[in-house]
Structure 1
C-alpha cells in the first residue's frame, strides 16, 4: 500500500427527514411508529486544493442507544442530534490534514469524554462519529474514483496507526484478505408485536405488502430469521411454538438467532429459556436451528458476569454482544466473559466492525477451531445510503447473512421525491425494484444482490435529495 491520502475536513452539513412506519415495531421497550433519519454531507479538501463531497445516513432509533425509561422518544432523538453535533464540532475543530482513519483516531477519546460529560453512554456517543466517518470515507472514495471494497482492501483510509487497539492484528494483511460476496442472505426479524399468521392481525394495513410472518416467508423466501424473546418464559415458548409452526411448513432448512434484547439480569435467565426449549418436543427443530443468542443480559451486567458461571443448565448456543459493544475494547472484555461473537452495525462505527473482524481472524488462527465470529445486525437501515453502506460492510467482512427488516416496517422509498427514487433504482437495479407504487429493496429467495455496490464511493452511485430535507435541529 502507498501512503494513505491525507486531507482536511472542511464542511459538515447535517440533515434529517421523517420516516413513517407502515407497521408498528416494538423496539426493545418502546413501540415505534415514526422516527427521523439523520444524514451527513461532508466536504474534504486535499493539499492541492481539490475537494470532494461524501454522505451517509442512519435512522435515529429511540430506546436502543439509551434505554432509560424516563426519557421520551423525542429525548432520545435530541440525544442523537447532540452527539452528532458534538462529532461535527470535533471534526471541524482541527484543520490539520489526516487520513480518513486518522480523523477518527484523533477525535475518538475526546469526543467520548465530551459525550460522557453530558451523561451519554459510549454506545450513544459512537453514533455521531460513526455517521461522519462513513461520509468522510465516501468522499475519499469519490475523490479517488474507487469503491469501498477496493479502498478497504488497499487501506487507502490508513486504518491502524494512531489507535493501540489495532496493534498486533496484522491489519494490512487482514484487510487485503477480504473479499465481498455478490449477494447475501437477509435474516428477517420477527418482532414482539409482529403477526405470525392472519389470525394475529388486529388492524390490517392492507397495502398489498406482507404483514405476517407467513406472508413474508411466501413473498421473500427467507431462510434466516431473528426471533425476539421478551423474558417471560411461558409467553416466549408459546410465541416460539407459533413461529415454528410457520417455519416448519417451509419444508426446507431454516436458521434462526434469538435476540434477548437485554431482558435478563444474568446468564441463568436465558439458560432457563434454552433448557425449556430443549425440553419441549414441539420446539426441537427450532432449537436445533439456532445459530446464536444475541445480547440476552442487560448491558450494565453483561460484561461483569461470566456466561459460564452457571449451576444448572448451560445456554447451549454461542452468545454475542450487541448493546454492550460501546467501547473499542468491549469485545475483548466480552471474550473474557465467555462470549463468542459481536455484532457489526454501521451505527456503532465501521472501523469498530473491521477491528472486531480482525480480532476474530487472529483469535481463531490461534486455536484449532473457529469459535469467534461477527454477525450482521441492523433492522433500522432504510433504502438508500444507509442500507447500501451497511450491506457493503457486512458483505466485505464475509458475514453470510444479515438482519434486514427496515424494508418490512417502512414502505420503501414511497415518502421520498420521485426523482430520488428513480436515481437509486437506475444506479442499483439489482438491489431495488419498483412495486406497489414505490422503489424498495429487492429480495428473491431470501437473498439480496449486491453487485452494483461495487461502485465509486461508499457503496452508492446515487445521492439523496438534500434539498428535500430539513437541517438537523441541533
Structure 2
C-alpha cells in the first residue's frame, strides 16, 4: 500500500504522576503526553487518519545536565514536528510511497549516519518513530487489518535486510504466532516504598491504588520485577536485600528479576562483585539465581568501548547484559552483539521497524549457534495509544514478558476523561477494567490479556483519543 501525507495535528497535555518515579538522574512528577494524527491518502483516493502517542519523557532520550526537563520535552516535541513536516514535503514532492519507504527516508534524513554516540540521536529518532507508528496505524485501518497481520504481509513494504543486511531472507512472515497474553514485569523505582511501613502518613496516596511493592504484588499477583539501581553499592546492596525480603514474603510462585542501571554503573567489575557477593547470601541468593538480565549498566557513549570487555564478560557470567539507551540506530544491536552483549530492549518509541529487524537478527544469530534475544521494556507507556501500540509490537515479537509501569505511576486512564476511559473498558474488557470506579489497566495473576487488541483493525485496535484542547502546534 502506498500513502501520501495530506495534513497532520500534533498536540500535548501536561499530566501529573500519582507517585514520583525516579529512574537514572530524573525524578518524574509531571510530563507532557503527546498525540500525533496524520491524515493520509492512497493513490485510489481512500483517506484515513493514523495516530500515535507518547509521553515526552525528559532525561532519558538525552541526559544533558545543562537542560531543564521542560526543555527536554520540548526537544522531543520538536523532533516529532520536524519528522512529520519532512514526511509532508517528501510525499508532496515524490508522491505516494509504502510506509517503510517513507519512514526510511525520514530516518536517513533525521538520523542518517550521525555518530551513534551523539547525545541527540535518540531524540531525533523519537520523532521518526512517532510518525512511523501513525502511518502504520493509517495503513492498517485502510486495509482493515491488524498490525500483526500487516507486518507479516507486504502491506507496509517492510524488508528487514534493508536495515540489517545480515538477516538475508528473513522476514516477519517467519515469526511464530503472536502472543495473546504477556506476563507483566513490575518496575521498582529508586524512590518506590517497599512496604506500608516505608510510607509516612503525609506521603500516603489515598486513591485506592497500590503504593508499595507489597501492595502491588498482592493486588496484581506480580511475580516478575525490574529493579532500578544506581551503581553505588552503599545504596544498591541494602535496597536489593530489602526487595528480596519483600518479594520472598509476598510473591507466590517462581519469580524473575531484572536490573536496570540506566547508564549509571560506571564500573562493571564493581557491579559484578556486588552481585557475586549477594549470590552467596541466604536472603539475596534467590534474587541473583533468578536474575534474567542486566540492562544498560554503562553510559551509552561507553557501551561499546573495548576497555569494558573484561567487566562485561564477568557480569555476563551472572546474567546476560542488554542495551537500551545505547540502542540509538539500526546498527546498534549488531554492535552490541559484537561487543559481548546478549540482547536489546524493545520499545515502540525507538522504532517499530527497527525492533522487527532486530528480531530477524536474533533469529539469524541463533541459527548460527549464538545467543541473542529481545526484552520488552517500558518508558512509562500510558493507555490508550502508547500502551496499546507498544503491547501490539511486543506480542508480535513474542517477548517472554514486558515491563509495564504507567499503571503504577499514573492514575489509571484519568488523563483521557471519563467518557473516553469508560468507553475503553467497554470496548476492551480483557485489557481494561474498573478498579472501583477508576478505568485502569487490567492485570490478573501478573498477566495482561491482549485478546481485545492484537487481532483488531489498526495499530493498537480501538484507540481512546486525548482531547485536543491543549493544542500546542
Cα offsets for 1:348-399 (capped at 9, x unmatched): 01111101111001100111x6x21000111410010110110111111010
CA–CA distance in structure 2, aligned partners of residues 360 and 246 of structure 1:
35
Pair 1:272–1:318, CA change in 2 (3 A): same
**Equivalent in the alignment of 1:255:** 256
**Equivalent in the alignment of 2:79:** 83
Residue number among 357, 360, 363 corresponding to 2:359 in the alignment: 357
Pair 1:231–1:310, CA change in 2 (3 A): closer
Decide whether the 8 Å contact of 1:190 with 1:226 is kept in 2. Answer: yes
Following superposition, the deviation at residue 223 of structure 1 comes to 1.1
Decide whether the 8 Å contact of 1:160 with 1:167 is kept in 2. Answer: no
Pair 1:311–1:441, CA change in 2 (3 A): closer
**Equivalent in the alignment of 1:100:** 99
CA–CA distance in structure 2, aligned partners of residues 221 and 337 of structure 1:
37
Following superposition, the deviation at residue 108 of structure 1 comes to 1.1
When the two chains are superposed, the root-mean-square deviation of aligned CA atoms in Å is: 2.0
SS in 2 for 1:459: coil
Following superposition, the deviation at residue 131 of structure 1 comes to 0.8
Following superposition, the deviation at residue 307 of structure 1 comes to 5.1
**Equivalent in the alignment of 1:346:** 348
Pair 1:424–1:309, CA change in 2 (3 A): same
Decide whether the 8 Å contact of 1:307 with 1:339 is kept in 2. Answer: no
Decide whether the 8 Å contact of 2:271 with 2:315 is kept in 1. Answer: no
Residue number among 173, 176, 184 corresponding to 1:175 in the alignment: 173
**Equivalent in the alignment of 1:8:** 4
Gaps of 5+ in 2: none
CA–CA distance in structure 1, aligned partners of residues 178 and 297 of structure 2:
30
Gaps of 5+ in 1: none
Decide whether the 8 Å contact of 1:306 with 1:338 is kept in 2. Answer: no
CA–CA distance in structure 1, aligned partners of residues 168 and 112 of structure 2:
29
SS in 1 for 2:148: helix
SS in 2 for 1:231: coil
CA–CA distance in structure 1, aligned partners of residues 60 and 289 of structure 2:
29
CA–CA distance in structure 1, aligned partners of residues 437 and 464 of structure 2:
21
Pair 1:18–1:460, CA change in 2 (3 A): farther
Decide whether the 8 Å contact of 1:27 with 1:63 is kept in 2. Answer: no
SS in 2 for 1:194: coil
Following superposition, the deviation at residue 325 of structure 1 comes to 0.4
**Equivalent in the alignment of 2:124:** 125
Decide whether the 8 Å contact of 2:223 with 2:252 is kept in 1. Answer: no
Following superposition, the deviation at residue 277 of structure 1 comes to 1.8
**Equivalent in the alignment of 1:51:** 47
CA–CA distance in structure 2, aligned partners of residues 191 and 420 of structure 1:
29
58-67 or 423-432: which moved more?
423-432
Decide whether the 8 Å contact of 1:266 with 1:302 is kept in 2. Answer: no
Following superposition, the deviation at residue 230 of structure 1 comes to 1.1
Decide whether the 8 Å contact of 2:37 with 2:51 is kept in 1. Answer: yes
CA–CA distance in structure 2, aligned partners of residues 54 and 314 of structure 1:
43
1:71 matched to 2:67? The reply is yes
CA–CA distance in structure 2, aligned partners of residues 149 and 79 of structure 1:
31
1:30 matched to 2:32? The reply is no
Following superposition, the deviation at residue 310 of structure 1 comes to 3.8
CA–CA distance in structure 2, aligned partners of residues 427 and 115 of structure 1:
43
Decide whether the 8 Å contact of 1:307 with 1:337 is kept in 2. Answer: no
Decide whether the 8 Å contact of 1:153 with 1:178 is kept in 2. Answer: no
Cα offsets for 1:179-208 (capped at 9, x unmatched): 211110010000000000111113111211
**Equivalent in the alignment of 1:332:** 334
Following superposition, the deviation at residue 110 of structure 1 comes to 1.1
TM-score by length of 1: 0.93
CA–CA distance in structure 2, aligned partners of residues 134 and 43 of structure 1:
13
1:190 matched to 2:188? The reply is yes
Decide whether the 8 Å contact of 2:313 with 2:340 is kept in 1. Answer: no
Alignment of 1:96-245 (within 5 A): 96-112=95-111, 121-160=120-159, 164-170=162-168, 173-202=171-200, 203-245=203-245
SS in 2 for 1:94: helix
Alignment of 1:297-336 (within 5 A): 297-305=298-306, 308-310=309-311, 313-315=314-316, 316-336=318-338
Decide whether the 8 Å contact of 1:61 with 1:77 is kept in 2. Answer: yes
341-350 or 225-234: which moved more?
225-234
Pair 1:311–1:334, CA change in 2 (3 A): closer
Pair 1:228–1:331, CA change in 2 (3 A): same
Following superposition, the deviation at residue 145 of structure 1 comes to 0.5
CA–CA distance in structure 1, aligned partners of residues 198 and 212 of structure 2:
8
Decide whether the 8 Å contact of 1:81 with 1:472 is kept in 2. Answer: no
Aligned length: 463
Following superposition, the deviation at residue 278 of structure 1 comes to 2.3
Decide whether the 8 Å contact of 1:425 with 1:433 is kept in 2. Answer: yes
14-23 or 137-146: which moved more?
14-23
TM-score by length of 2: 0.94
Following superposition, the deviation at residue 311 of structure 1 comes to 10
Alignment of 1:263-412 (within 5 A): 263-305=264-306, 308-310=309-311, 313-315=314-316, 316-367=318-369, 371-412=371-412
Pair 1:148–1:312, CA change in 2 (3 A): closer
Decide whether the 8 Å contact of 1:412 with 1:439 is kept in 2. Answer: yes
Decide whether the 8 Å contact of 1:181 with 1:395 is kept in 2. Answer: yes
